[in-house]
Chain A
Amino acid sequence: MNEPDPNAFSLDINDPEDAELIEYFLGELPERVSAINSAVTDEDIKELGRIAHQLKGAAPGFGFPAIGSAAAQLEGSIKELDESFADMKAVQAEVESLLSLCQSYITPK
C-alpha cells in the first residue's frame, strides 16, 4: 500500500477555500472522536474499522495528514485481526494514539 506523503496535503489557513475545509474538519472531529469511543465501548471492531478507513482517506485532504496516518495504522492493525477473535485490546495502542492526536486538535495545548 502507498503511504501518502505527510507533507503533500498541508493546507494554507490563509487561503479561504483551505480555511473552510480545515474548519469543517475540525467541526466534525468531536463527533468522530465520540464515534470511536462508542465503537470501543461496544467492542464493535467493524465500525471502528469503518471510521478509521474514512479518516484515513479524508484527513489528508483537509490538511491533517498525521490523523490520516494514525487512522491508516489503526485500520491496518484491524485488518490483521482474526475477525472471530477480534479483541479491542489488540488495537488499543493504535486507538489511543489516534484519539490523542484528534484530541490535540480539538483542545489545543
Chain B
Amino acid sequence: MPDVNLTQLDTTPVVLLIDDSQFVHRLLDARLRSESISLIGEHDGKVGLERAIEEGPALILLDLDMPVMDGFETLRALKDEPRTRDIPVIVLSGMNSSQDKVAAFDLGAVDFVTKPFELTELRARVRSSLKMSALLQMLSQKAQIDGLSGLFNRTYFDERLKGEYDRAIRHGHPMSIAMIDLDHFKSINDTYGHPAGDAVIAGVAQVILHELRSSDIACRYGGEEFVLIMPETNPEQAYNLCQRIRERCETITWARHPTRSVTLSAGVVGADDGSSINCTPSAWVEMADRNLYSAKQAGRNTVKASHINGSAVQITQSKAG
C-alpha cells in the first residue's frame, strides 16, 4: 500500500526541453544527467505546448529561435493556457540581446540562459527554478493543509468533494465518503491536557493515512472529526477500510496515557454507480453524519454504513491487513 504523499517534494521533477536542435537535446541530456530530474524533450513549440499540458512538468527550458512556432510565440501560448500558466519557463537562446531578454521576461519567463551554455550557470539556474517552484507548490498546498494533523483542511474538502462527486456522476463510477469522530475526546483533553489531545489527533491522522490508498483523500473536518473521500470505492469497501482504521486506533498505546486507549466511530455513505446519484454533495455529508450518529448510538467504537439511496450495505468479513 503506497503511503499518501502530501507534498510530492520527493518525486523526481520532470523538466521539458523545447528546442529545434537535436544537438541541444543531446547536450542537455548529458549535462543535466547528474541532476535529480527527469528530462523530456520536444523539437517544436506546438508539440511542446501539447506535451506540457499532458505532463505538467516542473520546469520548461524553451529555445527562442525555432522555425514553425518560435519561442516567444510558444511562451505566449504557454502563459495563455491555464494548465501550463504556472509552470516556470527558462528561456534558452543564442541571441544575447537585452531586448530579447526583456521581451521574454515580459511574457513571463523566470530566467534566461545564453547559448553556448556555461555549464555551472545552467545547472545553477535549473536548480534554483526547481527549488522555487517546489516552494511555491508547497505554499499553495500549505494553505489547504491542517497544521496539527497534516491532513487536508475543511476548505479543501468542500472543494474536492464537489469535484469527485461530479466525476463519479459523469463516469458512473463508485464513490464513498466517511465521517469519523473520536469517542469521548473531550475527556482526554480534560484529563490529560490539550497537548495529549493534540497528540491523539495527530496520531489518529497517521493511522488514517497509513490505511488509505493513494487515491483517497483524508481531511480534518473540525475538532476531533475527520472526513474521507474515497473515489472508485463502493460502500462495502469503504466500510472495510473504516473498520481497519477503527481496529488500529483501538490498539494504539499512547505515550501520555498508556492505560487509556482511544476509539473512534465512523459513518460511511457511498454509491456503486455515480450515475444513479440524484442528490447534492452536502446531502452526502448529512447522510454520513447520520450514520456516524447511529454508530455513536450503537455504543461507539463502531462503523455504520449505507448506500446513498438508503439501502443497507452487505457486510462481508474484512480481510486483515
Contact = CB atoms under 8 A, between A and B. Distances in A.
B30 A21 contact: yes
Contacts of A68: 116
B135 interface: no
Given A2-B96, A2-B114, A56-B94, 18 more contacts: A8-B118, A21-B27, A21-B30, A28-B23, A50-B67, A54-B21, A54-B23, A57-B21, A57-B24, A58-B21, A58-B23, A58-B27, A58-B115, A61-B27, A61-B115, A61-B117, A62-B23, A62-B27
Contacts, number: 48
Interface in A6-29: 8-9, 17, 20-21, 24-25, 28
B65 A53 contact: yes
Contacts of B257: none
A17 B114 CA distance: 22
A2 B20 CA distance: 22
B30 A17 contact: yes
Interface in A33-88: 50, 53-54, 56-62, 68
Interface string B110-124: 000011111000000
B69 to A, nearest CB: 15
Contacts of A53: 65, 94
Interface string B86-98: 0000000010110
By CB atoms of chain A within 10 A, which of B97, B114, B115, B118 has the most?
B115
Contacts of A30: none
Nearest to B122: A61
A20 B21 CA distance: 18
Q: What's the interface size class on B, roughly? A: 20 to 34
6 contacts: A2-B114, A21-B27, A54-B23, A58-B116, A59-B116, A61-B115
Top 8 A-B residue pairs of the complex, sorted by shortest distance between their CB atoms: A58-B23, A60-B116, A57-B115, A57-B94, A61-B27, A54-B21, A61-B116, A2-B96
Interface of B: 20-24, 26-27, 30-31, 33, 65, 67, 94, 96-97, 114-118
A78 B223 CA distance: 73
A72 B33 CA distance: 28
Contacts of B115: 57-58, 61
Nearest to B116: A60
Nearest to A60: B116
Nearest to B118: A8
B116 A21 contact: no
Nearest to A4: B116
Contacts of A20: 30
Nearest to A18: B30
Contacts of A8: 118
Contacts of A25: 23
Contacts of A1: 96-97
B96 A57 contact: no
Contacts of B21: 54, 57-58
Nearest to A65: B116
B126 to A, nearest CB: 15
Contacts of B97: 1
A91 to B, nearest CB: 19
A68 B117 CA distance: 13
Nearest to A2: B96
